[in-house]
C-alpha cells in the first residue's frame, strides 16, 4: 500500500488513541490548548487504523465469533491530542466573550460529564506511508514563511484581543515597528567592520592535514589561536607567491 486510504470520521476517546511512536516534533501544547478552548477542535486528527487479529488464546471454540481488535495511532495531531488530554475530563469553567455574551469552552462546553475525546479522520496505510505522513506533517509548516504585511493586516482586525492566536501584544508591536537604521544597529550591536562580524570559515580536513597545519604554523605569534595560525599561513603563502623559487 503506497497511499493512505480514507476510512471515515469518528469521535474517538483519547484512551483509545496511541501517540505516534518516536514523534520528533515538540509542539507548544499550551498554545494549542488555548486555541481549542476558544475555537473548538476545528481540525481533525489523522489516525492510522490498524486491524489486528483477535487474541483467542488456546480456546479454539471462540475463533469463529472473535472480533478483530483495532489499534489507532495518531499520525498528525499528536500535540492536539496532548492538549485535549491536558484539559482533562469535566467542566474547566472557562468562558470567552462573544458579542457581549460569554461562550463556553470549545472543548468541554462547560459540561461536567465531558470525557476527553477527539474528532479523527481514520486512514489505513502501511508502516512506510505512516512514517512519511508524520514526517511531512511536522516539517511542512517549518518550511513555510510569512508575508509580514498580510500578517499585520490580519492581526489588525482583532481589536487587540490576541488570546488563542499564538501572538501576543509585544509580537504585534515588533511587526508594526519600523526596521532599525544602520546607525541604530551599529549602536545596539557593533560596526559591520568589527572583528566580531567577520566571516567564519569552517571545514573538515583529514587528520594528517590538521597536523600539517599545526606544524607549519607552530612559530606564529599566538599558537593558541587558530585564526592567528591561519593568517600566518596566508602571509607565508603570499610571500612565496611574490618570491617564487
Rounded to whole angstroms, how far apart are CA atoms 51 and 38? 35
- State CA 151 to chain mean position distance: 20
Identify which of 131, 136, 25, 139 has the alpha carbon closest to the alpha carbon of residue 82: 25
- What's the pLDDT score for residue 81? 98
- DSSP letter assigned to residue 89: S
pLDDT 10s digits, 56-69: 555 555 545 554 56
Q: Which positions ≥6 away from 49 have C-beta within 8 Å?
A: 7, 70, 71, 72, 122, 123, 124
- What's the pLDDT score for residue 61? 55
Other Cβ atoms within 10 Å of 152 Cβ, number: 13
Per-position pLDDT tens, the chain of length 245? 579 999 999 999 999 999 999 999 999 999 999 999 999 999 999 999 998 766 555 555 554 555 456 799 999 999 999 999 999 999 999 999 988 899 999 999 999 999 999 999 999 999 999 999 999 999 998 999 999 889 999 999 998 999 999 999 988 988 888 777 777 766 666 665 666 667 777 788 888 888 888 889 988 898 888 888 898 999 989 888 888 77
Dihedral sign for Cα 44, 132, 26, 158, please. negative
Identify which of 67, 65, 71, 66 has the alpha carbon closest to the alpha carbon of residue 51: 71
Strands 101-104 and 117-124 turn out to be unpaired
- To the question of pTM greater than 0.75 for the whole model, the response is no
Amino acid at each position: 500500500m503506497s497511499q493512505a486510504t480514507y476510512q471515515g470520521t469518528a469521535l474517538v476517546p483519547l484512551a483509545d488513541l496511541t501517540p505516534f511512536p518516536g514523534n520528533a516534533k515538540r509542539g507548544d501544547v499550551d498554545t494549542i490548548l488555548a486555541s481549542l478552548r476558544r475555537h473548538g477542535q476545528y481540525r481533525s486528527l489523522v489516525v492510522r487504523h490498524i486491524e489486528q487479529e483477535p487474541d483467542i488464546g488456546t480456546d479454539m471454540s471462540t475463533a469463529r465469533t472473535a472480533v478483530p481488535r483495532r489499534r489507532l495511532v495518531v499520525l498528525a495531531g499528536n500535540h492536539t491530542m496532548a492538549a485535549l488530554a491536558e484539559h482533562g475530563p469535566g467542566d474547566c469553567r472557562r468562558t470567552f466573550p462573544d458579542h457581549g455574551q460569554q461562550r463556553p469552552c470549545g472543548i468541554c462546553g462547560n459540561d461536567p460529564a465531558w470525557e476527553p475525546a477527539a474528532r479523527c479522520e481514520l486512514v489505513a496505510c502501511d508502516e512506510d506511508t505512516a512514517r512519511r505522513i508524520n514526517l511531512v506533517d511536522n516539517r511542512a509548516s517549518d518550511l513555510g514563511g510569512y508575508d509580514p504585511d498580510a500578517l499585520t493586516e490580519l492581526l489588525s482586525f482583532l481589536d487587540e484581543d490576541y488570546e488563542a492566536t499564538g501572538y501576543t501584544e509585544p509580537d504585534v508591536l515588533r511587526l508594526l515597528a519600523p526596521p532599525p537604521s544602520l546607525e541604530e544597529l551599529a549602536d545596539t550591536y557593533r560596526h559591520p567592520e568589527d572583528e566580531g562580524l567577520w566571516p567564519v570559515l569552517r571545514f573538515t580536513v583529514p587528520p594528517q592535514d590538521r597536523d600539517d597545519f599545526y606544524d607549519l604554523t607552530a612559530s606564529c605569534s599566538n599558537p593558541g589561536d587558530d585564526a592567528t595560525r591561519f593568517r600566518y599561513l596566508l602571509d607565508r603563502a603570499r610571500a612565496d607567491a611574490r618570491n617564487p623559487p
